[in-house]
Chains A and B, each alone.
Chain A
Amino acid sequence: MTNMSRRGLLRTGAAASVLAATGLPLRAQGKRGGRLRVGMNGANTSDSWDARTHSDIFMISAAQGAVFDNLTEIAPDGSLRGELAESWEASEDAKTWTFTLRRGVTFHNGKSFGADDVIESLQLHVAEDSKSAAKPIVAAITEMKKLGEHQVQFTLNAGNADFPYLMSDYHLLIYPAGQLDEALSKGIGTGLYRAEAFEPGVRFVGKRVDSHYKDGNFGWFDEIEYIAINDGTARMNALMTGQVDAINRIDFKTEALLKANPNVRILEVTGNQHYTFPMLTDVSPFDQVHVRKALKYGINRQEMVDKILLGHGQVGNDTPIGPANQYYNADMEQLAYDPDKAKFHLKQAGIDRLNIDLSASNAAFNGAIDAAQLYQASAGAGGIEINLVQEPADGYWSNVWLKKPFCAAYWSGRATEDWMFSSAYEAGVPWNDSHWDDARFQELLIAARAELDSDTRRGQYYEMQEILRDRGGVIVPMFANFVGALSTKVGTPETVGNLWQMDNARMAERWWMN
């Protein structure tokens, strides 16, 4: 084990056992018992147990966070560990991946878990007419082979070092093979909690299963209840009056009131969620690097964090890679507000005063109009005249984003660098909101994708982040924190996941009652 190279560590799923062997305290110890009640937004009357349709915190917490399992799971510290998969191994070119599955796992209806379940569950996403958001992930698998009852081999159309990471996506839940219809309608998985009651858009109740492979490590509550509370004030009320034990997404304006309550504490993490101002880099004047540079120096990022996020965030550096990413370049020099430099770059571009339209609506993100006005004011000092065009919220994503040359937008971020870049920065992909097409960047993107050596990969991703900071077409002024609140009765581990709200939506698994 000790002779294992870094390369080997990444290539095989033995990483988790190595880390465990070092004796690091991975988590604070929880206590069994109690009932967790959580008030969350993002619930709809059309919700179901079909993970292909999941997109918001309520169903992700209920499905991935309680009732179902994936092959792999992202730990609170951002590392990858096995869930239904015990270990995995890649071929040299990262094209063939072999997963060894956990033995002795049963679904809530008693069926035992095996290779067929994995294959059939993944195939759901590539079924004809499927609109699953995970379709591209599964479509990249050219062959799924059952090597044994507890071993599956995937062959990809191109090498992808992140493949095991992708298997932790909340759409890729494992359902019992041959019983898909039943599992999709009733919610039958292998998770820590059995679905006891589920009223779409209203509530979900889960009961702890008697014995589970995560016993002793996770799953402390006897019962959990998720209540749909879409209104922010109502959520806060429910927590303040002790009707629920935790809530997601608090309103920053009322944070002080929550803090004044001795029975409530705030749970705040900075993840990959970021607000952006993308510009189309193939449209004049944004096709000139100097104009883009001027715009980068014309924005006061710190002011936006202070005034738009009221301090609940972090300044961005014009890359979509955030603190929840593995190869986040935290030491890269920060772009700062500098109107003189903005003027200088305008001059380099041969422009005296720049006049541009910026389209924004609060549909892009909360406070987008205000942010655009701040930008307007700060850029003015640098010789850039921004004309703010207020767009209607309805149809913003269809009619403005990707259409207008300079607008406001947001991204929830992705678990891996490649996934983020290939969603919005790879040449030609549909969501490339800056029409980004840079030869060096593209070359690095392809190379890093199949690179199994962690150090080489780090270098590649660092360089890509620098390229985006220096000449990219997306202004990323800020990363917005995930802020929730909970009763002091609820215990949480020292490290809380920052990939997604509410401890990566896994509070049923990781939290406990004090």
Chain B
Amino acid sequence: MGSVTRIVVQRLLLGILTLLVVSIVIFTAVNLLPGDFAQAVLGQGATEEAIRSIRRDLGLDQNIVLRYLDWLGGVVRGDLGVSFAQMNFQSNMGGGEMKTVAAQIAPRFGNTMFLAGVTAMIAVPLSITLGVLAALYRNSAFDKGANLFTLSSISSPEFFLAYVLILFLAVIYPVLPSLSNIYEGMGFGERLEKTLLPALTLTLVVTAHMMRMTRAAIIQLLSSPYIEMARLKGISPMRVIVRHALPNALAPIINVIALNLAYLITGVVVVEVVFVYPGIGQLFVDAVKIRDIPVVQAACLIFAGAYILLNLTADIMSILSNPRLRHPK
């Protein structure tokens, strides 16, 4: 077990380093974009004087390195700062409360996690079952049908899948709402109902990958001697796969699931826009549009963090699922 702890600590430290690099890259990239917050916010109303005064108020006229170090100093102390938009309001009003980036992002991130959670609850069991069945009846019509369906859904753009689902489930057979405008204080049942369509869309997107990995991993094991032994004992093919093959195929499957879960957190922007789902993706896009660096940075840290943690979880899970790694000689 000691080795697992060591791996965790090692990977977490590496993760922090990764986050640092990510933040530098994003900070530089956003600054390289043409235009800045002052120009984006003022739009047609931009006069030299107004731009100068906003830049001065937000400290945008300072050296880029200084600004980055200032931001980094805040993050180390656990302070993600205040968004430019809020600070700009503040200086307009000359008083009042300011919402921090953390307070701004928290409810949005919660919504995104909820959507990811609902999707995972549907997609993971579904794709593993499909994968197992496809392995069991490999090269049958079912196998080919499942492959065709999942591959064509992963190959279509997300917004297309979303509109197809809306067409069938909201327009022709109006069983689900096409608008997923969930809000705080909404009952769980209603929230779930509103989240179903985007969750189904995402399910279609992530299922193929997980299902095909399950199928491939199991089929690869089916030629091993111990499976043959099991078959010779006379156990049913289903039992062979579920009891004997699947546990040994878990490591690659878990890896793929982790990758897809990370995608559910970081890659849902388009789906959020189509269904008007108030998640972090929309906030992120808005922030990039107006070059609101504190929000962009915070969102990127969350995205990167999600990848790092989920990958770490995947590695640990595959170690735990493999007795040989669990008890190294």
Contacts and interface: CB of A to CB of B under 8 A. Distances in A.
B328 interface: no
Contacts of A229: 179, 181, 276
Contacts of B19: none
Chain A, interface residues (CB within 8 Å), range? 35 or more
B104 interface: yes
A380 to B, nearest CB: 30
Contacts of B190: none
Contacts of A409: 44
B151 interface: no
A238 B35 contact: no
Contact of A201 (B51, B88, B97, B286): B286
A234 B177 contact: no
Interface in B21-75: 33-35, 39-40, 42-47, 50-51, 53
Nearest to A392: B34
A128 B53 CA distance: 13
Interface string A229-254: 11101100110111110000000000
Interface stretch (B9-17, B126-134, B166-174, B229-237): B166-174
Contacts, number: 118
Interface string B69-91: 00000000000000101101101
Given A241-B170, A243-B179, A395-B35, A50 B89 contact: yes
B178 A238 contact: yes
B85 A44 contact: yes
B275 interface: yes
A199 B283 contact: no
A397 B43 contact: yes
Nearest to B292: A46
B42 to A, nearest CB: 7
Contacts of B35: 394-395, 398
Chain B, interface residues (CB within 8 Å), range? 35 or more
B7 to A, nearest CB: 39
Contacts of B274: 231, 233-234
B276 A238 contact: yes
Nearest to A205: B183
Nearest to A197: B183
A203 B50 CA distance: 30
Contacts of B50: 131
Contacts of A199: 183-184, 278
B122 interface: no
A269 B44 CA distance: 24
A397 B39 contact: yes
Contacts of A201: 278, 283, 286
A460 interface: no
Given A45-B104, A203-B181, A241-B179, A128 B96 contact: no
B289 to A, nearest CB: 9
Dominant secondary structure of chain A at its interface with chain B: loop
Contact of B89 (A48, A234, A392): A48
Contacts of B45: 133, 397
A235 to B, nearest CB: 9
Nearest to A229: B276
A359 interface: no
Contact of A45 (B47, B53, B88, B283): B283
B183 A202 contact: yes
A177 B70 CA distance: 39
A344 to B, nearest CB: 35
B178 A227 contact: no
Output the residue of A39, A52, A243, A398 with the most chain B CB within 10 A.
A398
A476 B82 CA distance: 42
B45 to A, nearest CB: 7
Contacts of B33: 394
Given A50-B89, A131-B92, A241 B178 contact: yes
B273 interface: yes
Interface of A: 39, 44-46, 48, 50, 52-53, 127-133, 181, 184-185, 197, 199, 201-203, 227-231, 233-234, 237-238, 240-244, 392, 394-395, 397-398, 401, 409-410, 430
9 contacts: A52-B93, A199-B184, A203-B181, A231-B273, A234-B274, A241-B177, A394-B34, A395-B35, A430-B47
When A and B form their complex, which 10 residue pairs have the shortest distance between CB atoms, in order from nearest?
A46-B85, A395-B35, A394-B35, A243-B179, A394-B34, A241-B178, A398-B39, A398-B46, A397-B44, A241-B170
Interface of B: 33-35, 39-40, 42-47, 50-51, 53, 83, 85-86, 88-89, 91-97, 104, 163, 166, 170-171, 174, 177-179, 181, 183-185, 273-276, 278, 283, 286
Given A48-B89, A240-B171, A243-B178, 16 more contacts: A44-B85, A45-B85, A45-B104, A45-B286, A46-B86, A46-B89, A129-B91, A184-B96, A227-B181, A229-B276, A237-B166, A238-B276, A241-B171, A241-B177, A397-B42, A398-B51
